[in-house]
């Protein structure tokens, strides 16, 4: 018995015509390009929006009493109170056990650490180079805020002096500076000791001449002579007294450190950048930097002050 496949039923003519029209329309119609909404992403590359979302935002809150001196007293007071309570507890105890003695020793160590921590922090700040400007003092004992340029200088030279003084006051831990060129003061800015009340009134070139005239005198010769052998740095008041710098022009009573930088060209600066006149030309002037805190200038800041002094030497040498 053989199997004969069943015949496929014939489709209606109308159906075949409709199918041919639909196929022709699909072939004739152009294919429209539709951009994908999925962003293209290369392997290993995170989109900026995703990277921003991945970053953690951290806010740091610092408790402060409004001044560094008051903030430094907090751990000292806590350590002192803790040490007093330890002593009181030891006195009131009849027979302290070994565990109590060990606890008291640990408490005494913690109290001592709390007392000396502000001093250690201050020393670390002073020793770390390149820390930049710290909180500026609003006033210094025996000092007056002044800004005076020699009236007879050219405008370009005045701009160089103004830029140098602003950069030093802005980026180093000094409160004032003065510069002397060929025996006469040409710059005074910041908190300086100005005798005779020359900075109490007046404006313009007359007031600047009065301030610089009050800062003039033979005392500048001592400063230039002290810096003739190279950069002179007095890190504290004792070093200033030993060098005789306390009597130099513009040095206030509240100054705790001082830098006398000779005004020398770049060619006469040594490898350390501090400048030395040995074997070269004698300094024609000196740049005096003052600070209200001891050990205010790091070695990098002193080298930068020498570079600024060399620029001032170039500017003042070209002045008429």
Q: Which residue has the higher pLDDT, 25 or 134?
A: 134
Say if residue 205's pLDDT is above 90: no
Mean pLDDT, residues 186-193 = 90
| 90 three-class SS | helix
Q: Compute how many other C-beta atoms are within 10 angstroms of the C-beta atom of residue 168.
A: 23
Mean pLDDT, residues 74-95 = 88
For the record, the structure tokens of 106 come out as 């640990």
Q: Which residue has the higher pLDDT, 313 or 55?
A: 313
pLDDT of amino acid 138? 73
The Cα 256–Cα 251 span in angstroms is 10
Split at pLDDT 50, 70, 90, the class of 259 is: very high
Split at pLDDT 50, 70, 90, the class of 204 is: low
Burial label for 192, CB within 10 Å (0-12, 13-18, 19+), is buried
- Please measure the distance between the N-terminal and C-terminal CA atoms of the chain and give it in whole angstroms: 131
pLDDT of amino acid 245? 87
List, edge to edge, every strand of the sheet that includes 257-262: 144-149, 184-192, 176-181, 285-291, 257-262, 232-234
Query: Topology of 144-317 in CATH?
Result: Beta-Lactamase (3.30.450)
Q: Which residue has the higher pLDDT, 206 or 84?
A: 84
226: CB partners within 8 A, 6+ apart:
232, 243, 244, 245, 260
Split at pLDDT 50, 70, 90, the class of 250 is: confident
Say if residue 17's pLDDT is above 60: no
261: CB partners within 8 A, 6+ apart:
227, 231, 274, 275, 286, 287, 288, 289, 302, 305, 306, 309
| 213 neighbors 220 (Cβ within 8 angstroms) | no
Going 214 to 218 to 222 to 223, the CA torsion angle's sign is positive
Show me where the domains of the chain are located: 68-127, 144-317
The Cα 176–Cα 314 span in angstroms is 22
pTM above 0.85, yes or no: no
The Cα 92–Cα 117 span in angstroms is 29
Strands 232-234 and 285-291: unpaired
């Amino acid at each position: 018995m053989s199997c004969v496949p069943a015949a496929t039923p014939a489709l209606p003519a109308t159906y075949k015509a409709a199918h041919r029209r639909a196929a022709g329309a699909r072939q004739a119609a152009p294919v429209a390009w539709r951009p994908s909404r999925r962003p293209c992403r290369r392997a290993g590359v995170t989109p900026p929006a995703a990277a921003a979302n991945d970053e953690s935002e951290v806010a740091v809150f610092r408790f402060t009493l409004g001044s560094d001196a008051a903030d430094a007293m907090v751990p000292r007071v806590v350590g002192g109170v803790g040490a007093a309570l330890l002593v009181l507890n030891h006195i009131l105890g009849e027979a302290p056990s070994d565990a109590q003695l060990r606890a008291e020793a640990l408490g005494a160590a913690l109290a001592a650490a709390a007392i000396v921590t502000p001093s250690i922090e201050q020393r670390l700040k002073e020793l770390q180079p390149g820390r930049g400007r710290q909180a500026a003092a609003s006033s210094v004992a025996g000092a007056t805020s002044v800004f005076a340029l020699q009236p007879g200088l050219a405008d370009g030279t005045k701009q160089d002096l103004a830029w140098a003084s602003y950069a030093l006051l802005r980026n180093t831990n000094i409160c004032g500076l003065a510069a002397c060129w060929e025996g006469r003061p040409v710059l005074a800015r910041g908190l300086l000791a100005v005798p005779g009340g020359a900075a109490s009134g007046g404006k313009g070139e007359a007031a600047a001449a009065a301030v610089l005239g009050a800062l003039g005198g033979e005392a500048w010769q001592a400063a230039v002579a002290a810096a003739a052998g190279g950069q002179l740095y007095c890190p504290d008041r004792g070093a200033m007294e030993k060098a005789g710098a306390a009597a130099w022009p513009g040095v206030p009573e509240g100054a705790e450190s001082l830098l006398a930088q000779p005004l020398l060209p770049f060619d006469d600066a040594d490898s350390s950048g501090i400048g030395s006149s040995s074997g070269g030309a004698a300094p024609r002037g000196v740049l005096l930097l003052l600070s209200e805190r001891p050990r205010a200038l790091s070695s990098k800041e002193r080298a930068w002050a020498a570079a600024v002094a060399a620029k001032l030497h170039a500017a003042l040498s070209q002045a008429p």
